[in-house]
Chain A
Amino acid sequence: MKLDVVTKIGAVVRSMDATEVVLPGSLGEMGILPGHKALIAGLGVGPMIVRSGTDEAWFALAGGFVEVLGEDIRVLTETCERADQIDVERAQAKLQESTARLDTVPPTEPELYNLVRESIRKAQTRIAVGGRKHG
């Protein structure tokens, strides 16, 4: 299968070979193997794992959707970072900051609450994926 990932800063992954792709679907983790039916699925915040033979590459994804058609997997997402590009320390700082902020959000602002929750999830994903540098 061929994997492509586009974000608003351009194509991050171009025609990467894969035998299995695991994605953070909005309904939960989903794996895509060759011969998958045609699919358009929403994505949440979480890790994407690309396996090719015995190789494994981890990415942190945030939102968007995936389109599967034949042997092509096309992901459109807000951000996509490869494990070795992630600054884990910064993600940890961000996680602390957002966690602290969550308590200060008044209950009258559910939208802000959700935004902060999302940034916590993003930071957690980045920490989890960033820890996989050599995995």
Chain B
Amino acid sequence: MATLKQIRRRLTSVRNTQKITRAMKLVAAAKLRRAQDNMTRARPYARRIRQVIWDVSERTGRESHQLLEVREEKKALMIVITSDRGMCGAFNSNINRRAERYLRGGEGDHEEISLALIGRKGRDYFRRRPYAIDKEYMEVLSDPSFGIVSQIGREIIARYIDGGLDAVYIVYNEFKSAISQKVVVERLLPIVPEREPDAEIDTRLEGIEFAYEPSRTAILDSVLPLYVNVRLYFAVLESLAAEMGARMTAMESATKNAGELLSRLTLQYNKARQAMITTEMLEIVSGAEALK
């Protein structure tokens, strides 16, 4: 049986751990709110861009721009977004496993596929495995601004345009709710124009011919790269929100477990203390008896 001192030491350590997990949960909650906030604010922007791309590409056809054109997907790039830190349950292993399954299973039928990694956990995972890592982007997640993400986007678009890449995929955790995430694989390039699902159909658009200045292609030239960056930015924000949600859940249950452990240890401590008192009393009584 553990001595009183040992139990007391464990109690203190568990109590400290619980303090930390509780604090981490609160921090995650605050960061989750911030990521969600950024998403909500950027949403109308993304929606307008999507709408314009749809409108313009409907009128010009998909052959009209390199970023829209579908070609044989020989050389592909896969962007994997993980987190920089752990303590968020199965968040990272879900992502890494999904990406690896794609790479191994040849789902996309590419001749060549390489990886671009955002987040330390993905880097640590794939470095130890035999896949071609093309680029590692660290220091994105600590302060994810549109500017930093656009830089990545610009690089990728440049490579896509000069034929170094035929397709770009992105794997990340989609934020479903604070307690659930979903791993998704999406194609970033070539761009598939989408109609805004919940856009109110503007009846005034019927039969109206827009004038384009300077030209439709010029509009696409500026809007399409923007769209790629916006989607990448959203993926990073989604992933960040999902990470914080996962961390909240993980820390919540860690705090609860620590609580359970504490009450078990306290019970043990009290029992040990009582046992000790009983033994001492017995010793005194029997000592007194012996003197009679």
A-side residues, CB < 8 A to B, are: 6-11, 25-27, 30, 37-42, 63-65, 67, 69-70, 74, 76
Specify which chain B residues have a CB less than 8 angstroms from the CB of A39 in the assembled complex. Answer: 210-213
A40 to B59, CA, bound (A): 13
The reply on B129 being an interface residue by CB < 8 A is no
A8 and B222 in contact (CB under 8 A), knowing A38-B209, A40-B210, A41-B213? no
Specify which chain B residues have a CB less than 8 angstroms from the CB of A63 in the assembled complex. Answer: 222
Q: Using a CB-CB cutoff of 8 Å, which residues 42-86 of chain B contact chain A?
A: 42, 44-45, 48-49, 52, 55-56
Q: Is the interface of B mostly helix, strand, loop or mixed?
A: helix
Specify which chain A residues have a CB less than 8 angstroms from the CB of B233 in the assembled complex. Answer: 8
CB-defined A-B contacts under 8 Å, sample of 10: A6-B45, A8-B42, A8-B146, A8-B233, A9-B42, A26-B214, A26-B222, A37-B211, A65-B52, A69-B208
A42 and B219 contacting across the interface, CB-CB below 8 Å: yes
Q: Is the interface of A mostly helix, strand, loop or mixed?
A: strand
For B204, give its contact among A8, A10, A26, A69 (CB under 8 Å).
Answer: A69
A38 and B214 in contact (CB under 8 A), knowing A6-B44, A76-B49? no
A65 and B211 in contact (CB under 8 A), knowing A6-B44, A9-B42, A10-B41? no
For B212, give its contact among A6, A11, A40 (CB under 8 Å).
Answer: A40
B208 and A11 contacting across the interface, CB-CB below 8 Å: no
A40 and B213 contacting across the interface, CB-CB below 8 Å: yes
A38 and B208 contacting across the interface, CB-CB below 8 Å: yes
B204 and A40 contacting across the interface, CB-CB below 8 Å: no
Residue of A nearest to B229 (CB): A8
A113 to B219, CA, bound (A): 23
Specify which chain A residues have a CB less than 8 angstroms from the CB of B204 in the assembled complex. Answer: 69-70
Specify which chain A residues have a CB less than 8 angstroms from the CB of B56 in the assembled complex. Answer: 40
A76 and B48 in contact (CB under 8 A), knowing A8-B42, A8-B146, A65-B219? yes
Specify which chain B residues have a CB less than 8 angstroms from the CB of A41 in the assembled complex. Answer: 211-214, 219
Residue of B nearest to A7 (CB): B45
B211 and A42 contacting across the interface, CB-CB below 8 Å: no
Taking each of A7, A30, A42, which has the highest tally of chain B beta carbons within 10 Å of its own beta carbon? A42
The reply on B184 being an interface residue by CB < 8 A is no
A65 and B209 contacting across the interface, CB-CB below 8 Å: no
B213 and A42 contacting across the interface, CB-CB below 8 Å: yes
The reply on B230 being an interface residue by CB < 8 A is yes
A27 and B44 in contact (CB under 8 A), knowing A8-B230, A63-B222, A65-B52? no
B215 to chain A, nearest CB (A): 9
B48 and A74 contacting across the interface, CB-CB below 8 Å: yes
Specify which chain A residues have a CB less than 8 angstroms from the CB of B41 in the assembled complex. Answer: 8-10
The reply on B223 being an interface residue by CB < 8 A is yes
A106 to B19, CA, bound (A): 54
A112 to chain B, nearest CB (A): 11
A114 to chain B, nearest CB (A): 11
Residue of A nearest to B146 (CB): A8
B44 and A11 contacting across the interface, CB-CB below 8 Å: yes
Taking each of B48, B209, B213, which has the highest tally of chain A beta carbons within 10 Å of its own beta carbon? B213
A22 to chain B, nearest CB (A): 15
B219 and A76 contacting across the interface, CB-CB below 8 Å: no
Q: Using a CB-CB cutoff of 8 Å, which residues 6-48 of chain B contact chain A?
A: 40-42, 44-45, 48
The reply on B218 being an interface residue by CB < 8 A is yes
B268 to chain A, nearest CB (A): 55
A31 to B157, CA, bound (A): 33
A42 and B222 contacting across the interface, CB-CB below 8 Å: yes
Specify which chain A residues have a CB less than 8 angstroms from the CB of B55 in the assembled complex. Answer: 40
For A26, give its contact among B52, B202, B208, B218 (CB under 8 Å).
Answer: B218
A76 to B44, CA, bound (A): 10
Q: Using a CB-CB cutoff of 8 Å, which residues 222-240 of chain B contact chain A?
A: 222-223, 226, 230, 233
B210 and A38 contacting across the interface, CB-CB below 8 Å: yes
A25 to B42, CA, bound (A): 23
B280 to chain A, nearest CB (A): 70
Specify which chain B residues have a CB less than 8 angstroms from the CB of A7 in the assembled complex. Answer: 45
A40 and B52 in contact (CB under 8 A), knowing A27-B213, A65-B223? yes
